Amino acid sequence: MKGGKAHQTCAFHSRSSVLTSLVNMNDPVSNSLSVKGCFEPQERCLQMPLENLELTCGYLLEEDLKCLYQYPSLGYLKHLNLSFVLLFRISLAPLGALLEKVAASLETLIFEGCQIHYSQLSAILPGLSRCSQLTTFYFGRNCMSMDALKDLLRHTSGLSKLSLETYPALEESLNSLVHVDWEIFTPLRAELMCTLREVRQPKRIFIGPTPCPSCDSSPSEELELHLCC
């Protein structure tokens, strides 16, 4: 991810709940922390103010989220990427608090593949709704019901700068093999779009399974969003 100023870059790995650092790559001309796998933020990596924070492909406990929220260096984040960090079965209240903390600066938010369940969603919605600078929001591959996703979309009413957003296929549209039933999904997606257009006009939006089951592509800044099947 790109940052406007100098970045501080680190990479981690996590295999258990408490953040345990395996790799630490510091770049004096950068303002970002990138961690893959087993997460334990080292003190020296979180002393300088960060614009970019990437924790990917691991899992976190509620205590870990509280730890991240308490770091003053995260107060001005522009990019937060938690893709494929498993967040199910824990309270997301600390994550919601972190979103409120960085609401004035956050531009990119990636919760792709976090397995967030709709029962957890209410904890992050107030913080999300205040992220007025947000331009990119990835929320695909999470477990969402129709009512929960409608609630999420309504909470984005004030996010006028959103130019790219992705959401998962609805739980109600999945068959016994957890594949999308397109006859069910298509009208539900249309209903979601109506709900969204009642509160704001989306620019580029993708609602559905990723990658695309027909062309195996995923939404990105470079790819026109579509469902080709």
Domains of the chain: 32-207 (3.80.10.10)
37: left (phi over 0), alpha (psi -120 to 50) or beta: left
In this prediction, residue 225 carries a pLDDT of 47
**At residue 36, does pLDDT exceed 80?**
no
Instruction: Calculate mean pLDDT across residues 10-31.
Output: 39
Residues ≥6 apart with Cβ < 8 Å to 88: 114, 115, 116, 117, 120, 143
Rounded CA separation 221/203 (Å): 12
How does residue 31 score in pLDDT terms, banded at 50, 70 and 90? low
**At residue 45, does pLDDT exceed 80?**
no
- Strand bridging mode 52-56 / 164-167: unpaired
Rounded CA separation 224/229 (Å): 15
More confident residue, 191 or 217: 191
Rounded CA separation 86/50 (Å): 23
Instruction: Calculate mean pLDDT across residues 49-75.
Output: 87
Instruction: Calculate mean pLDDT across residues 85-97.
Output: 94
In this prediction, residue 123 carries a pLDDT of 97
Instruction: Calculate mean pLDDT across residues 100-123.
Output: 97
More confident residue, 105 or 227: 105
**At residue 69, does pLDDT exceed 80?**
yes
How does residue 117 score in pLDDT terms, banded at 50, 70 and 90? very high
Name the residue among 88, 83, 58 with its Cα closest to residue 166. 83
**At residue 112, does pLDDT exceed 60?**
yes
**At residue 3, does pLDDT exceed 80?**
no
Instruction: Calculate mean pLDDT across residues 194-206.
Output: 96
**At residue 142, does pLDDT exceed 80?**
yes
More confident residue, 24 or 74: 74
